[in-house]
Protein backbone atom coordinates (compact mmCIF):
# COMPACT_ATOMS: atom_id res chain seq x y z
CA UNK A 1 0.00 0.00 0.00
CA UNK A 2 2.87 2.35 0.88
CA UNK A 3 4.51 1.57 -2.46
CA UNK A 4 1.29 2.40 -4.29
CA UNK A 5 1.01 5.70 -2.38
CA UNK A 6 4.58 6.59 -3.32
CA UNK A 7 3.86 5.91 -6.98
CA UNK A 8 0.79 8.13 -6.84
CA UNK A 9 2.89 10.84 -5.25
CA UNK A 10 5.27 10.75 -8.20
CA UNK A 11 2.44 10.96 -10.72
CA UNK A 12 0.35 13.70 -9.17
CA UNK A 13 1.63 16.98 -7.78
CA UNK A 14 -0.01 18.46 -4.69
CA UNK A 15 -0.27 22.06 -5.89
CA UNK A 16 -3.77 23.30 -6.65
CA UNK A 17 -3.78 25.16 -9.98
CA UNK A 18 -5.71 28.27 -10.88
CA UNK A 19 -9.25 27.64 -12.15
CA UNK A 20 -9.25 26.14 -15.62
CA UNK A 21 -9.82 28.55 -18.47
CA UNK A 22 -10.90 26.48 -21.44
CA UNK A 23 -9.59 28.04 -24.65
CA UNK A 24 -11.68 27.54 -27.80
CA UNK A 25 -9.38 25.58 -30.10
CA UNK A 26 -9.92 27.28 -33.44
CA UNK A 27 -6.67 25.78 -34.70
CA UNK A 28 -8.39 22.37 -34.69
CA UNK A 29 -10.20 23.77 -37.73
CA UNK A 30 -7.44 25.82 -39.35
CA UNK A 31 -8.30 24.29 -42.72
CA UNK A 32 -11.62 26.17 -42.56
CA UNK A 33 -9.87 29.51 -42.20
CA UNK A 34 -7.17 28.63 -44.73
CA UNK A 35 -9.25 27.01 -47.47
CA UNK A 36 -12.72 28.35 -46.63
CA UNK A 37 -14.20 25.02 -47.62
CA UNK A 38 -15.48 21.78 -46.14
CA UNK A 39 -12.79 19.06 -46.34
CA UNK A 40 -15.44 16.53 -47.37
CA UNK A 41 -17.47 18.34 -50.05
CA UNK A 42 -15.33 21.48 -50.58
CA UNK A 43 -18.31 23.78 -50.11
CA UNK A 44 -17.43 27.36 -49.17
CA UNK A 45 -18.04 27.86 -45.46
CA UNK A 46 -18.56 30.89 -43.27
CA UNK A 47 -17.22 30.47 -39.72
CA UNK A 48 -20.26 32.14 -38.17
CA UNK A 49 -22.71 30.03 -40.14
CA UNK A 50 -20.72 26.90 -39.32
CA UNK A 51 -20.87 27.64 -35.60
CA UNK A 52 -24.61 28.27 -35.75
CA UNK A 53 -24.91 24.85 -37.39
CA UNK A 54 -22.97 23.22 -34.50
CA UNK A 55 -19.88 22.89 -36.71
CA UNK A 56 -21.63 20.56 -39.12
CA UNK A 57 -21.35 21.26 -42.85
CA UNK A 58 -24.83 22.38 -44.04
CA UNK A 59 -24.26 20.74 -47.43
CA UNK A 60 -22.84 17.28 -46.70
CA UNK A 61 -23.30 16.99 -42.89
CA UNK A 62 -19.57 16.52 -42.29
CA UNK A 63 -19.02 16.81 -38.52
CA UNK A 64 -15.99 18.94 -37.69
CA UNK A 65 -13.99 18.21 -34.57
CA UNK A 66 -15.04 20.50 -31.74
CA UNK A 67 -13.64 21.45 -28.35
CA UNK A 68 -14.86 20.56 -24.86
CA UNK A 69 -16.12 24.10 -24.31
CA UNK A 70 -18.14 23.89 -27.52
CA UNK A 71 -19.67 20.55 -26.53
CA UNK A 72 -20.68 22.05 -23.21
CA UNK A 73 -22.20 25.05 -24.97
CA UNK A 74 -24.14 22.93 -27.48
CA UNK A 75 -25.39 20.22 -25.11
CA UNK A 76 -25.86 21.63 -21.60
CA UNK A 77 -28.15 24.25 -20.12
CA UNK A 78 -26.44 27.68 -19.97
CA UNK A 79 -24.51 28.32 -16.78
CA UNK A 80 -24.93 24.82 -15.36
CA UNK A 81 -21.45 23.41 -16.04
CA UNK A 82 -19.38 23.07 -12.87
CA UNK A 83 -15.92 21.59 -13.32
CA UNK A 84 -14.47 19.14 -10.82
CA UNK A 85 -11.16 17.23 -10.43
CA UNK A 86 -9.18 20.13 -11.91
CA UNK A 87 -6.69 19.87 -9.04
CA UNK A 88 -5.19 16.66 -10.46
CA UNK A 89 -1.92 17.56 -12.20
CA UNK A 90 0.49 15.25 -13.99
CA UNK A 91 4.24 15.06 -13.56
CA UNK A 92 6.71 12.83 -15.40
CA UNK A 93 6.50 9.42 -13.66
CA UNK A 94 9.17 7.67 -15.73
CA UNK A 95 11.37 10.66 -16.54
CA UNK A 96 10.57 10.58 -20.27
CA UNK A 97 12.79 13.11 -22.12
CA UNK A 98 10.94 16.23 -23.27
CA UNK A 99 7.62 15.21 -21.72
CA UNK A 100 7.29 18.31 -19.53
CA UNK A 101 7.77 20.56 -22.55
CA UNK A 102 5.05 18.74 -24.50
CA UNK A 103 2.70 18.96 -21.52
CA UNK A 104 3.29 22.69 -21.13
CA UNK A 105 2.71 23.23 -24.83
CA UNK A 106 -0.57 21.30 -24.71
CA UNK A 107 -1.71 23.15 -21.58
CA UNK A 108 -0.99 26.51 -23.20
CA UNK A 109 -2.87 25.55 -26.37
CA UNK A 110 -5.97 24.20 -24.63
CA UNK A 111 -6.20 25.80 -21.20
CA UNK A 112 -6.67 22.30 -19.80
CA UNK A 113 -4.58 20.34 -17.30
CA UNK A 114 -4.83 17.18 -19.41
CA UNK A 115 -6.85 15.48 -22.16
CA UNK A 116 -10.12 15.19 -20.17
CA UNK A 117 -12.47 17.81 -18.71
CA UNK A 118 -15.00 16.75 -16.03
CA UNK A 119 -18.03 18.64 -14.85
CA UNK A 120 -21.56 18.56 -13.50
CA UNK A 121 -24.14 19.71 -16.05
CA UNK A 122 -27.85 19.87 -16.70
CA UNK A 123 -29.49 18.84 -19.97
CA UNK A 124 -32.92 20.48 -20.18
CA UNK A 125 -33.02 20.35 -16.40
CA UNK A 126 -31.72 16.78 -16.09
CA UNK A 127 -28.61 16.46 -13.92
CA UNK A 128 -25.65 14.53 -15.31
CA UNK A 129 -21.85 14.35 -15.40
CA UNK A 130 -19.81 15.13 -18.51
CA UNK A 131 -16.34 13.70 -19.08
CA UNK A 132 -15.03 15.17 -22.33
CA UNK A 133 -11.81 14.27 -24.12
CA UNK A 134 -10.01 16.60 -26.50
CA UNK A 135 -7.75 15.48 -29.33
CA UNK A 136 -5.85 18.76 -29.18
CA UNK A 137 -4.16 17.76 -25.90
CA UNK A 138 -1.41 15.43 -27.12
CA UNK A 139 -3.78 13.61 -29.47
CA UNK A 140 -6.24 12.91 -26.67
CA UNK A 141 -3.78 10.34 -25.34
CA UNK A 142 -4.70 8.57 -22.12
CA UNK A 143 -2.13 9.07 -19.39
CA UNK A 144 -2.26 8.72 -15.62
CA UNK A 145 -4.06 12.02 -15.03
CA UNK A 146 -6.62 11.51 -17.79
CA UNK A 147 -7.31 8.03 -16.42
CA UNK A 148 -7.58 9.38 -12.87
CA UNK A 149 -9.99 12.12 -13.94
CA UNK A 150 -12.20 9.71 -15.85
CA UNK A 151 -12.21 7.32 -12.89
CA UNK A 152 -13.22 10.17 -10.59
CA UNK A 153 -16.06 11.08 -12.94
CA UNK A 154 -17.31 7.49 -12.92
CA UNK A 155 -17.07 7.11 -9.14
CA UNK A 156 -18.70 10.51 -8.62
CA UNK A 157 -21.58 9.29 -10.76
CA UNK A 158 -22.00 6.38 -8.35
CA UNK A 159 -21.74 8.61 -5.27
CA UNK A 160 -24.17 11.25 -6.55
CA UNK A 161 -26.46 8.79 -8.36
CA UNK A 162 -25.98 10.67 -11.62
CA UNK A 163 -25.58 9.32 -15.16
CA UNK A 164 -22.15 9.83 -16.74
CA UNK A 165 -21.81 10.91 -20.36
CA UNK A 166 -18.36 10.29 -21.84
CA UNK A 167 -17.20 11.89 -25.09
CA UNK A 168 -14.18 10.11 -26.55
CA UNK A 169 -11.54 11.26 -28.99
CA UNK A 170 -8.06 9.80 -28.76
CA UNK A 171 -5.13 8.32 -30.59
CA UNK A 172 -4.61 5.82 -27.77
CA UNK A 173 -2.46 5.51 -24.66
CA UNK A 174 0.29 8.01 -23.81
CA UNK A 175 3.65 6.44 -24.56
CA UNK A 176 5.53 9.01 -22.45
CA UNK A 177 4.10 7.39 -19.30
CA UNK A 178 4.75 3.76 -20.16
CA UNK A 179 3.03 1.25 -17.89
CA UNK A 180 1.35 4.06 -15.92
CA UNK A 181 -0.58 4.84 -19.08
CA UNK A 182 -1.50 1.24 -19.85
CA UNK A 183 -2.80 0.60 -16.32
CA UNK A 184 -5.52 3.21 -16.95
CA UNK A 185 -7.27 0.72 -19.22
CA UNK A 186 -7.81 -1.65 -16.29
CA UNK A 187 -8.44 1.14 -13.80
CA UNK A 188 -11.21 2.80 -15.80
CA UNK A 189 -12.74 -0.54 -16.76
CA UNK A 190 -12.89 -1.52 -13.08
CA UNK A 191 -14.67 1.75 -12.26
CA UNK A 192 -17.21 1.05 -15.01
CA UNK A 193 -17.81 -2.39 -13.50
CA UNK A 194 -18.61 -0.65 -10.21
CA UNK A 195 -21.07 1.58 -12.06
CA UNK A 196 -22.77 -1.50 -13.46
CA UNK A 197 -23.10 -3.01 -9.98
CA UNK A 198 -24.55 0.28 -8.73
CA UNK A 199 -26.89 0.42 -11.76
CA UNK A 200 -25.73 3.91 -12.72
CA UNK A 201 -25.77 4.35 -16.50
CA UNK A 202 -22.76 5.27 -18.63
CA UNK A 203 -23.48 6.74 -22.05
CA UNK A 204 -20.53 6.89 -24.45
CA UNK A 205 -20.39 9.23 -27.44
CA UNK A 206 -17.62 8.21 -29.84
CA UNK A 207 -16.26 11.13 -31.85
CA UNK A 208 -13.63 11.44 -34.55
CA UNK A 209 -11.09 9.93 -34.04
CA UNK A 210 -11.23 7.26 -31.31
CA UNK A 211 -8.41 4.70 -31.44
CA UNK A 212 -5.98 2.51 -29.53
CA UNK A 213 -6.31 1.55 -25.89
CA UNK A 214 -9.22 3.95 -25.42
CA UNK A 215 -11.28 1.91 -27.88
CA UNK A 216 -9.97 -1.31 -26.33
CA UNK A 217 -11.23 -0.31 -22.88
CA UNK A 218 -13.76 2.24 -21.62
CA UNK A 219 -14.96 3.56 -24.99
CA UNK A 220 -16.73 0.28 -25.71
CA UNK A 221 -18.07 -0.37 -22.21
CA UNK A 222 -20.99 2.05 -22.10
CA UNK A 223 -24.57 0.95 -21.46
CA UNK A 224 -25.41 2.78 -24.68
CA UNK A 225 -22.70 3.54 -27.25
CA UNK A 226 -23.43 6.37 -29.68
CA UNK A 227 -21.19 7.67 -32.45
CA UNK A 228 -21.16 10.87 -34.45
CA UNK A 229 -21.64 10.45 -38.22
CA UNK A 230 -18.46 9.68 -40.13
CA UNK A 231 -16.30 9.21 -37.04
CA UNK A 232 -13.18 7.04 -37.39
CA UNK A 233 -13.19 4.38 -34.67
CA UNK A 234 -10.86 1.42 -34.20
CA UNK A 235 -7.80 -0.01 -32.51
CA UNK A 236 -4.98 0.21 -35.05
CA UNK A 237 -5.31 2.60 -37.96
CA UNK A 238 -6.36 1.30 -41.40
CA UNK A 239 -2.94 1.85 -42.97
CA UNK A 240 -1.28 -0.18 -40.20
CA UNK A 241 -3.79 -2.99 -40.69
CA UNK A 242 -3.38 -3.02 -44.48
CA UNK A 243 0.40 -3.13 -44.22
CA UNK A 244 0.15 -6.01 -41.74
CA UNK A 245 -2.39 -8.22 -43.49
CA UNK A 246 -1.38 -7.05 -47.00
CA UNK A 247 -4.98 -6.72 -48.07
CA UNK A 248 -7.18 -3.81 -49.07
CA UNK A 249 -9.76 -3.00 -46.41
CA UNK A 250 -13.46 -2.57 -47.25
CA UNK A 251 -14.77 0.88 -48.18
CA UNK A 252 -15.62 2.90 -45.08
CA UNK A 253 -13.82 0.45 -42.78
CA UNK A 254 -13.67 1.83 -39.20
CA UNK A 255 -16.21 4.56 -39.92
CA UNK A 256 -19.14 4.79 -37.51
CA UNK A 257 -21.59 3.69 -40.23
CA UNK A 258 -19.58 0.50 -40.82
CA UNK A 259 -19.44 -0.22 -37.08
CA UNK A 260 -23.20 0.26 -36.72
CA UNK A 261 -23.80 -2.18 -39.57
CA UNK A 262 -21.56 -4.75 -37.87
CA UNK A 263 -23.18 -4.30 -34.44
CA UNK A 264 -20.28 -2.65 -32.62
CA UNK A 265 -22.25 0.46 -31.65
CA UNK A 266 -25.90 1.12 -30.81
CA UNK A 267 -26.68 4.25 -32.81
CA UNK A 268 -25.34 7.09 -34.92
CA UNK A 269 -26.73 10.43 -33.80
CA UNK A 270 -26.14 13.76 -35.50
CA UNK A 271 -24.94 16.66 -33.39
CA UNK A 272 -28.26 18.46 -33.83
CA UNK A 273 -30.16 15.50 -32.34
CA UNK A 274 -27.68 14.58 -29.61
CA UNK A 275 -29.05 16.75 -26.80
CA UNK A 276 -32.56 15.37 -27.27
CA UNK A 277 -31.21 11.81 -27.49
CA UNK A 278 -29.17 12.13 -24.30
CA UNK A 279 -32.19 13.57 -22.50
CA UNK A 280 -34.28 10.59 -23.59
CA UNK A 281 -31.61 8.13 -22.42
CA UNK A 282 -31.31 9.83 -19.03
CA UNK A 283 -35.09 9.79 -18.54
CA UNK A 284 -35.37 6.13 -19.55
CA UNK A 285 -32.54 4.79 -17.43
CA UNK A 286 -33.05 6.94 -14.35
CA UNK A 287 -36.81 6.24 -14.31
CA UNK A 288 -35.97 2.53 -14.25
CA UNK A 289 -33.80 3.10 -11.17
CA UNK A 290 -36.58 5.00 -9.39
CA UNK A 291 -39.05 2.20 -10.07
CA UNK A 292 -36.68 -0.27 -8.44
CA 137 to CA 159: how far, in whole Å? 29
Output the pTM of the full model. Answer: 0.86
Q: Over 50: is that where the pLDDT of 7 sits?
A: no
* 25-78 per-position pLDDT tens digit: 444 454 444 445 788 898 888 888 888 999 999 999 999 999 999 999 999 999
Domains of the chain, earliest start first:
2-25+67-291 (3.90.226.10)
CA 74 to CA 77: how far, in whole Å? 8
| pLDDT score of 188 | 98
| pLDDT score of 262 | 94
* 66-104 per-position pLDDT tens digit: 999 999 999 999 999 999 999 998 889 999 999 999 999
- Nearest 5°: the CA angle 39, 43, 49 is 100
* 9-26 per-position pLDDT tens digit: 444 444 444 444 444 444
| pLDDT score of 288 | 77
Amino acid sequence: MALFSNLLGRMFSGKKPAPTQVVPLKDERTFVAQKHSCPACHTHLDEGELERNLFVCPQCSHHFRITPVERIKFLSDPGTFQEFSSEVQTTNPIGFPGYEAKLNEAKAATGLADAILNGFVQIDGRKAIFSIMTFKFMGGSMGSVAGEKLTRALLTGIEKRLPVILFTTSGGMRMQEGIFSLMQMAKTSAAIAQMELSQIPLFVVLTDPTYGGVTASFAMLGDVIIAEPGASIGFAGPRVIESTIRQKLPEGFQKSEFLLQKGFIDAIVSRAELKKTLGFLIDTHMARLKVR
